Amino acid sequence: MSAYIRRYLLVHGAYLAVVLSLLAWYGLTPGQALARFDGQHYIQIASSGYVHKLTFLPDGKPERMNIAFYPLYPMLMAALHAVTRMPMEICGLVLSLAASLATAVGIGVLLEPLFGRRTAMLTVTIWAVGVEAIVQSMLYAQPLIAAFAVWGAIAVRRRRPLLAAACAIGAGLSHSTGLGMVVVAMAGSALLIREAARKKEWRAALAPAAAFVLAPMGLLGYIAFLALRFHRLDAWFLAESAPGWSSEFDFGKYTLRTLLGQLDTTDWFAANGVPHLVASLWIVPGLGITLWLLRDQGWWPERYRRKLAALRPSPAPSPSPLPSPSQSQSQSPSPSQSQSQSPDALDASALQPSLDASVPQLSPLPDASARSAEALGSAAPPGSAAPFGPGRSSSWLARYHRTPALQPSPSPSQSQSQSPSPSPAASALRPPLDALARSAAPVAPNRSSPSPSSQPLLAADRPPVPWELTVFSLVTFAVILTNSGPWGSKPRFLIPCVALSVAPAIWLRKLDDRPRLQQGIVLAIGLVSALCSAYMDGPSPSAL
């Protein structure tokens, strides 16, 4: 796992040096650049706590209050400060760095058994320089949510519902976008409960049931705490609606209006036109990747799935099985026909029984494929198999591995009893015939873990992206796009969506034979991200 830490530190360090250099040209020191915006509120909460009463402007609208920020990140800052006596800013930066490193290691643990080391490394690289990656080193809670999301997904796949619920509680206490981890933990617990109910193992359902109840307690617990403290059920929502934030659930009206303004260019010349355009450069591709994730999971409607299947190339035809002895005998020429044939043909027909006995018989392709997939699924590494439901680990293997298995060859005694005694000429030809049969027989699948270089790349030869990451990204997109908060700050909330980095890594694996082009694409992503981050965190008028 140290390789993932080194890769993240190297790539993100270079990215951070570029962004900080651009911000220094704008007039910001590294300390000012990394502790801006939300970081000031977190420092205030860690130092003095939350406000004790609601305050309003003369027009009746609420003032900006620090109760809009969830408590886990500033609480960890205060705890680290109490232990080390370091400044609050340094404590926050240490927490963000530790959470980012934990996320990088979690990406390797989660993805390497599924897609190989190369794909996991590419995912870490893209995530380290991706959308608003500078926030990974700022006083923000997003790196903490990313760590909870990745390790929560690992806990769900390894059938540890209580650990997944703990990650959901931590994500819910960090930010409202932690709702994605809450949904993932509750869905995983529900699947385990259903499995236990089918098997009537009620004791096995106790831990998932407890995890199902505990998972949303972090997110709902803070809202309930504010409601009791200020005697208003909408205390948190009231703080979010303060001028400048204006964050309210409007079912996507603000998002639709902003995107339409980008299409007809009317929004380009507004006060926040350029920040909106820069944010759209991340949000729109993110939506496209999310649609690809839906297709990768097979969650498209059936009619669209049939259309997509029609566009895929047809698989290569499987080799026809060798004829059985009965078929060979029925197809052999009659005595009258053999008399009219040449002596060479007579010798070949005499050798036919020995040839049939030397060739092993193949089992039917579908049944053999299923048995091969089941065997592969049972030998898969712990993190590679989907955890829920019987047969799920072999479902994708049965889909992507179509290698037929050989039936056990008969013993020598059975072969001698079933086949006639060969002539001396047939005995002389038996070794080359056996070699020919072995070369024509399909190779049994290797049940050991495949090497990273042999990991499948194409959609027809690999498992899908972990559904836990896909669900987290879907819920996070739903939260930020149905909210009317500042458009320029929305890309920062996509940092915990690691699935948005997995998909480009899978696509880039197809360019392994062109490493310079592959490296150039990653470098281009990093440069565009650095320029966007430097603008949004520097001269942008809507950076909050």
Phi, psi for 5 (deg, rounded to 5): -65, -45
pLDDT tens-digit series, residues 172-199: 999 999 999 999 999 999 999 999 999 9
- pLDDT class for 309, splitting at 50, 70, 90? low
Residue 103 tokens read as: 């996320």
pLDDT digit string (tens) for 472-502? 999 999 999 999 888 888 999 999 999 999 9
The predicted structure's pLDDT at residue 317: 53
Query: CA-CA distance, 445 to 379, in Å (whole number)?
Result: 12
| Packed helices 2-26 and 117-129: angle between N→C axes, nearest 10 degrees | 20
| Structural domain boundaries enclosing 511 | 2-302+464-536
Average pLDDT over residues 157-176: 97
How many angstroms separate the CA atoms of 76 and 340, rounded? Answer: 95
Is the pLDDT confidence value at 334 over 90?
no
Question: Which whole number is the average pLDDT over 18-35?
Answer: 92
Phi, psi of 62 (to 5 degrees): -75, 150
Pairwise CA distance, residues 305 & 443, whole Å: 32
Please state, in angstroms and rounded to a whole number, the distance separating the CA atoms of residues 65 and 55: 8
Q: What pLDDT score does 450 carry?
A: 43
Q: Which pTM does this prediction carry?
A: 0.74
pLDDT band at 306 (very low <50, low <70, confident <90, very high): low
- The confidence score (pLDDT) of residue 264 equals 73
∠ at Cα 119 (465, 524), nearest 5°? 105
54 within a domain of the structure (yes/no): yes
What is the pLDDT, as a whole number, of residue 267? Answer: 67
Q: Greater confidence, 356 or 398?
A: 356
Round to whole Å and give the CA distance between 477 and 290: 9
Residue 289 domain flag: yes
Judged against a pLDDT cut of 50, whether residue 73 lies above it is answered with yes
Percent of the chain with pLDDT over 70: 68
Residue 429 confidence (pLDDT):
52
* Per-residue pLDDT, 273: 77
DSSP 3-state of 283: helix
Q: Quote the tokens at residue 95.
A: 């927490």
What is the pLDDT confidence band of residue 538, given thresholds at 50, 70 and 90? Answer: confident
Query: Residue 78: inside a domain, yes or no?
Result: yes
Nearest of 8, 39, 33 to residue 20 by alpha carbon: 33
Position 314 in a domain: no
Residue 26 is predicted with a pLDDT of 87
Please write down the HEC assignment for all residues of 470-518: HHHHHHHHHHHHCECCCHHHHHHHHCCCCHHHHHHHHHHHHHCCCHHHH
Beta bridge partners of 406: 362
How many structural domains comprise the chain?
Answer: 1
The confidence band for 543, taking pLDDT boundaries of 50, 70 and 90, is very low
Q: HSE (CB half, 13 Å, CA atoms) of 305?
A: 9
Residue 317 lies in a domain: no
- DSSP per-residue string spanning 318-361: PPPPPPPHHHHHHHSPPHHHHHHS-HHHHHHHHHHHHHHHHSPP
Region 331-354 average pLDDT: 46
- Round the average pLDDT of the chain to a whole number and report it: 79
Q: What does the buried/exposed string (b/e) look like for 303-341 if buried means 16 or more CB atoms within 10 Å of the residue's CB? A: eeeeeeeeeeeeeeeeeeebeebeeeeeeeeeeeeeeee
For residue 101, tell me if it sits in a domain. Answer: yes
The string of pLDDT tens digits covering residues 201-217 is 999 999 999 999 999 99
The pLDDT confidence band at residue 305, using thresholds 50, 70 and 90, is low
Is pLDDT at 239 greater than 50 in this prediction?
A: yes
pLDDT digits (tens, 9 = 90+) for 379-421: 344 444 344 333 333 333 333 333 333 344 444 454 444 445 5
Q: Which of 5-14, 250-259, 337-346 has the lowest mean pLDDT?
A: 337-346
Q: pLDDT by residue (tens digit) across 441-481?
A: 444 444 344 444 444 444 456 899 999 999 999 999 999 99
Alpha-carbon distance 166 to 157, whole Å?
Answer: 15
- Reported confidence tier of residue 260, pLDDT bands at 50, 70, 90: confident
Q: Tell me, what amino acid is at 492?
A: R
Distance CA 125, CA 496 (A): 15
Q: What is the pLDDT of residue 456?
A: 41
Within-domain flag for 252: yes
Residues 269-297: pLDDT tens digits? 666 778 888 899 899 999 999 999 998 98
Is 220 a domain residue? yes
